[in-house]
Chains A and B, each alone.
Chain A
Amino acid sequence: MAISARRRRTGLAAWGFALPFTILFAVFMLVPVASSLYMAFTDMHGADLRTPWAVNFVGFDNFAAALADPKFQQAAGNTLYFVGVAMPLTLGVALLLAVLLNSGLVWFRSVFRVGFYAPVVTSIVAVAVVWRFLLQPDFGLVNSALGLVGIDGPRWLTDEVWAMPSLIMMATWRNVGYSMVILLAGLQGIPRDLYEASAIDGAGAVRQFRSITVPLLRPTLLFCAVITGIGYLQFFEEPFVMTQGGPLGATNSVAYEVFNQFGFGNYGLSAAMSYVLFVAIVILSYLQFRLLRTEK
């Protein structure tokens, strides 16, 4: 009896300590998540804001409607295209830059590090203005440079074929610095004597990179891949500020479509769409963990 009473008291005390966190967590995390899930299974619209409980449950209708919607399908295709190209590109360029910064250039390392990281902390609005100038078809820097070597550059942001590559370029430029800094830290954590030992064994630079750098960098690469993948699946800012999803829906993304549908007051449908996106993020992250996990 005595023991159980004391246990109960300790339990209560523990709860007392945990209460502030639990309440904050419940109010700011659990309730919003639960209500968005609730929304996804109801026919809630903008006009139901005052009476959120007076709506009908519609089961998986919203999910079926989202998946059958040609605009959502196009947005999903665009998002996959974006992630499929931009993610490997970002990680590849980040790794290349990190290796270069790690091997030489000791003097200018911090200059370069700041240079490549600056786009990450710059406001997207400012970035958009500059990129619109760069990509301007008639006098933009990109097409002027292409013109010097005799190439007639496309109308980047208003061409159905080139709009997405333009945004991929811009997103890579914006995000490469983040992964680069993390990878650089990872590289500096690899013991130098491993390279020395392998050099004595006759390994060249390429062999060292394949057999030492990449395996030891795996956890760091995994981290970068997951973070970049999650960010890129939620691709929104670039089309929002640069193309409004056009031309002809070529740069519309799932997150943008969710944003639009929320704006139209289709709360149920857009909540369902965001859960489809959520599932896609879970699947992608799972695949990355499978692919890049450290072998035991």
Chain B
Amino acid sequence: MNRTPRLAAAATASTLTLALALTGCGRSDEAGTTADSASSISEGPATGTVEVWAMGTEGELLPELAEQFEADNPDVTVNVTPVPWESSTEKINTAIATGEVPDVMQVGTTLMSGFVGLDGLAPTPEDIDSSAFFPGAWETTEVDGTSYGVPWYVESRVLYYRTDLAEEAGVEAPADWAGLTDFAAGLQDAGAEHGIALQTRGNSTALMYFPFYWQAGGEILDDAGEFTLDNDAQVKALEYYSSFMRDGLAPPVLVEEEKVQNFIDGKLGSFVSGPWERANLLTTAGDDFADKFGVVPLPADEATASFIGGSNLAVLADAANPDSAWKFVQFATDPATQVDWFGISNDLPAVQASWEDPALADDEAVAMYQGVLETARSTPAIPTWSEIEHELDLIIEQTIAGDLTPEEAAAKMQEAATSIGTGLD
């Protein structure tokens, strides 16, 4: 009697193993399902229920916008589910794998390729005009030549600096690379411990660095989709980026958490960040601090460039109500709605026409971003990018520490990227 349960347990286990072994394994030869030719959006008002997943602040504020859509389309109900950013990737992956998906989803610009790799997103219908958006923003929707979503809101990186220190030092906001070096040195002479802060290590170091590479004329991928990371532009940009740390103009190892406080205390002259930082500074230091800092575009070298981020709106491949879902996306990316949404959430519009509106054009702190966004770019939308970026973070860190020369680092970047591949086969 004693043996039976154990035997049976063993039998259960081996059945499971057998089941695993017998189920057909091995990849099928067909090279991924090619995207269905983009459909078009029907005429007339939206109907039925549209399920929307949105993350973070957008998830909390979106119902306000959805009410307008419901008012325009009396037969539609929009259900917004807020999803925390931290758990969004797993939640969406699970949803796609099980087919229990919403109709519309907010997707961070750098996360597109992963969901497209799972065949989770529907191609964008041709009714949506790509030229209405900032080109860098539209590019984030394209994976391997096909667009799978529509830019919703954008953000870009700019230079924050202490105007009082700049005035004291008699330096003007920089327009080119040499200017930025002098500018940082000037702020330092005027009393700052460091003239500028640049990210030196950890996640997203590459995102801070790449604008300089683009400014130097570099490209991450060529037209054929091959990596082009080992070149003179890379050497030049790495040399320039690390020169700030080497020459004592920037902290050799930046502690991110101390950056804002040091800036407020006047110990730090300038730093690179996105539009959200303004609100952050004013909350931490009080509204009076607004007179003490200015915001300018990053300096140019061969070209002007910054990093563009933000979120796209995508319709799921398994959406239950795709037609109304696209109508909702169309509504949310309409120039007038984008201005309303800016009023609700402070998210910068991805549609270029919205920037003509006085709500944006007359606000100097906001209008400055328009020019930046026109030339801002994103990292390639390839499924392996997060892994490549992790490698690049480490290589940049080693270059700043002096363990690699810029030449060695450029070669290593190319080697790391090609060995990981684009994942697009």
Pair A50/B12 contact, Cβ less than 8 Å:
no
CB distance from A44 to the nearest CB of B (A): 10
Pair B27/A56 contact, Cβ less than 8 Å:
yes
Pair B390/A49 contact, Cβ less than 8 Å:
no
Question: Interface code B163-200, partner A: CB below 8 Å = 1, 0 otherwise?
Answer: 00000000000000000000000000000000000000
Q: Which stretch from B76-84, B111-119, B242-250 is at the chain A interface?
A: B111-119
B126 within 8 A of A: no
With a CB–CB cut-off of 8 A, which chain A residues contact B361?
none
Closest to B114 in A: A46
CB distance from A200 to the nearest CB of B (A): 50
- Tell me which of A11, A53, A155, A246 has the highest count of chain B C-beta atoms within 10 A of its own C-beta: A246
A143 within 8 A of B: no
CB distance from A97 to the nearest CB of B (A): 33
With a CB–CB cut-off of 8 A, which chain B residues contact A56?
25-27
With a CB–CB cut-off of 8 A, which chain A residues contact B253?
155, 158, 247
A53-B25, A246-B202, A248-B403 in contact; A30/B16 too (CB < 8 A)?
yes
B38 within 8 A of A: no
B397 within 8 A of A: yes
With a CB–CB cut-off of 8 A, which chain B residues contact A274?
none
A10 within 8 A of B: yes
Pair B383/A265 contact, Cβ less than 8 Å:
yes
Q: Which stretch from A14-22, A113-121, A210-218 is at the chain B interface?
A: A14-22
CB distance from B420 to the nearest CB of A (A): 9
The A-contacting residues of B in range 35-91, CB under 8 angstroms, are: none
Pair A30/B13 contact, Cβ less than 8 Å:
yes
CB distance from A158 to the nearest CB of B (A): 4
Pair A49/B20 contact, Cβ less than 8 Å:
no
CB distance from A270 to the nearest CB of B (A): 11
Closest to A47 in B: B117
With a CB–CB cut-off of 8 A, which chain A residues contact B27?
54-56
B5 within 8 A of A: yes
With a CB–CB cut-off of 8 A, which chain A residues contact B114?
46, 265
The A-contacting residues of B in range 366-405, CB under 8 angstroms, are: 383-384, 386-387, 390, 394, 397-398, 401, 403
- How far is B118's CA from A248's CA once the two chains are assembled, in angstroms? 33
Name A10's contact: one of B1, B202, B203 (CB within 8 Å).
B1
Pair A248/B257 contact, Cβ less than 8 Å:
no
Number of interface residues of A (CB under 8 A): 37
The B-contacting residues of A in range 4-18, CB under 8 angstroms, are: 7, 10-11, 14-15, 18
A54-B27, A56-B27, A244-B202 in contact; A34/B16 too (CB < 8 A)?
yes
B105 within 8 A of A: no
With a CB–CB cut-off of 8 A, which chain A residues contact B1?
7, 10-11, 14
A47-B117, A55-B25 in contact; A158/B386 too (CB < 8 A)?
no
A34-B16, A249-B394 in contact; A47/B118 too (CB < 8 A)?
yes
With a CB–CB cut-off of 8 A, which chain A residues contact B257?
132
B279 within 8 A of A: no
A22-B12, A54-B28, A248-B394 in contact; A34/B118 too (CB < 8 A)?
no
CB distance from A156 to the nearest CB of B (A): 11
- How far is B116's CA from A49's CA once the two chains are assembled, in angstroms? 12
Name A50's contact: one of B26, B97, B255 (CB within 8 Å).
B97
Question: Interface code A56-80, partner B: CB below 8 Å = 1, 0 otherwise?
Answer: 1100000000000000000000000
B162 within 8 A of A: no
A34-B17, A50-B96, A158-B255 in contact; A244/B203 too (CB < 8 A)?
yes
- How far is B97's CA from A31's CA once the two chains are assembled, in angstroms? 18
Closest to B202 in A: A244
A188 within 8 A of B: no
A34-B17, A244-B203, A248-B403 in contact; A57/B25 too (CB < 8 A)?
yes
A26 within 8 A of B: yes
CB distance from A13 to the nearest CB of B (A): 11
- How far is B203's CA from A266's CA once the two chains are assembled, in angstroms? 18
Q: Which 6 A-B pairs have the closest CB atoms?
A: A47-B117, A264-B387, A158-B253, A49-B97, A244-B202, A246-B201
20 further A-B contacts with Cβ under 8 Å, apart from A30-B12, A50-B118, are A11-B4, A14-B1, A14-B4, A15-B5, A30-B16, A34-B20, A42-B25, A45-B423, A47-B423, A50-B96, A55-B25, A57-B25, A244-B201, A246-B201, A247-B397, A248-B397, A249-B394, A264-B387, A264-B390, A265-B387
* Pairs A–B under 8 Å by Cβ, sample size 21: A14-B1, A15-B5, A22-B9, A30-B13, A30-B16, A34-B17, A42-B25, A46-B114, A46-B117, A46-B118, A50-B118, A53-B23, A55-B25, A247-B253, A248-B394, A248-B397, A248-B403, A260-B390, A264-B387, A264-B390, A265-B387
